[in-house]
Amino acid sequence: MWECESSTLGRVTVYSIQGCPHCIQAKATLRQLGVPVCDVDIGIHSELRAKVKELTGRSTVPQIFFNNVHVGGNDDLQKLDPAELRRLVTLVREEPLPADALPLPEKNQPDDTAEETDRAAELSLLLREMILKLFSEHLSADGKSVDYKGMSVNPAFERYCELAIQLQRVELLSLSREEKLAFFINIYNALVIHGYLRLGAPTNMWQRYRFFNYVSYLIGGEVFTLQDIENGVLRGNRKGVAQLRRPFSKTDPRLQMALPDAEPLIHFALNCGAKGCPPIKTYTPQDIDTQLRTAAEAFLENDDGCVIDSGKREVRLSQIFKWYKADFGGTDEKLLNWVLEHMGDSPKKTSLQGILSAGKTKVSFLPYDWSSNSFH
């Protein structure tokens, strides 16, 4: 979908993804400036992803344009010189949109029957969109924390709970690999938020263990905990962190749902509710691999995910790469090659190429922020 306010000759266009804290903060800043904002969700209009990346050289969101002048992302917007910002605001207010500005997508027609479907992929997407809408409405002003208490009393949350009951009726065996990835990633992220709302955020290691091993949905007649979804289904039935055995035994009917092998890209899509997790997004089966690769590029571009120290010939990575090292090849060399292969074209990638070509590279891991993204 996209929404466009119109009260000037030009426009500010923000290419965003629903639920992205950086996008929300950027749009709030723009509205404080009194300029109309056209918000284009490229999570839905995926056909625009390649065009936006071609124009900006970036895979991250948001990407902000004043008419056809590219400003960059939220950090770039916040750091703009006041005089330059005034110039851009005047540009939008007084000059018409140029012919070479990016076109807006056609608006989607509403689907009156969508909420009645019991098809797995469609139901998971609908649940995800509903929970993301709640998530967006209850973010703090800086877009980094969530008012879970306020969200829990929102009538839309009760509607979500009613819809989640339909998961027990979905048929999973016919899902393709792409449908399975999108379905279980979306359900995992929604279940984390649902669990936070009902039980509160875990605050220590023992509470986290219980949370991820007991919070569950009944899906297709079987119980799936968060641990079952991540390690059983999406990682090809591998042992999780601090787990002594695989989630599914050979006789467990849920084993039929497991991917043939671990998909490393899921680690940049799953959000466990901690501040150190990747951002929350919605995934669709149609271009799931592109979406996951884009999420990985964005994660690696952020200094919370990857830091390159050329002077010390050291690469510092998120703890995610340590915990799931087997998914990325199992050795430092294979891990670094995986990281390089999945980086977007950027100065950071060039720096990594330089130190890898120079010889032995040290790998270390960044501290992980387990604190909750709740501000209550």
pLDDT, one tens digit per residue, over 247-270 is 999 999 999 999 999 999 999 999
pLDDT in tens, 130-170: 777 777 787 665 555 678 888 888 888 888 888 888 888 78
Question: 129 near 282, Cβ under 8 Å?
Answer: yes
190 and 247 housed in the same domain: yes
pLDDT of residue 336: 95
The predicted structure's pLDDT at residue 113: 35
CATH number at residue 65: 3.40.30.10
Cα separation, 134 vs 153, in Å, equals: 11
Q: Are 81 and 225 in a shared domain?
A: no
Residues 177 and 265 in one domain: yes
**Shared domain check, 185 and 73:** no
Q: What is the mean pLDDT of residues 341-355?
A: 92
Residue with tokens 């002077």: 311
Q: Give me the pLDDT at residue 116, please.
A: 35
Domain boundary pick from 94, 126, 160: 94
Whether residue 244 sits in one domain with residue 150: yes
Structure pTM?
Answer: 0.72
* Tens-place pLDDT, residues 107-141: 544 443 333 333 666 676 677 777 777 777 876 65
- Indicate whether 256 and 324 sit together in one domain: no
More confident residue, 117 or 340: 340
Q: Is 282 in the same domain as 326?
A: no
Residue 133 located in a structural domain: yes
For the chain, the residue count is 376
pLDDT at 43 over 80: no
Higher pLDDT among residues 283 and 217, named by residue = 217
| 361: containing domain | 294-365
Tell me: do 263 and 126 sit in the same domain.
yes
The residues with which 363 forms a beta bridge, in sequence order, are: 315
Which whole-number Å values give the CA distances from 224 to 19, 99, 257, in the listed order? Answer: 25, 51, 11
**What are the phi and psi torsion angles at 329 (to 5°)?**
115, -25
| Shared domain check, 54 and 174 | no
- Residue 343 is assigned to a structural domain of this protein: yes
Claim to verify: residue 141 and residue 271 sit in the same structural domain: yes
Q: How far apart are CA 48 and CA 54, in angstroms?
A: 10
Above 50 in pLDDT, residue 66?
yes
Q: What is the Cα 77 distance to its own chain's centre?
A: 21
Q: What pLDDT sits at residue 320? A: 95
Spatial neighbors of 4 by CB under 8 A, at least 6 apart, are 11, 36, 37, 38, 39, 104
pLDDT score of 51: 84
Q: Do 270 and 165 have their domain in common? A: yes
Q: Partners of 64 in the beta sheet?
A: 14, 72
pLDDT at 331: 95
Complete edge-to-edge strand list for the sheet that includes strand 314-317: 306-309, 314-317, 362-365
181 and 144 within one domain: yes
Can you tell me the distance from the alpha carbon of 282 to that of 266, in angstroms, rounded to the nearest whole number? 13
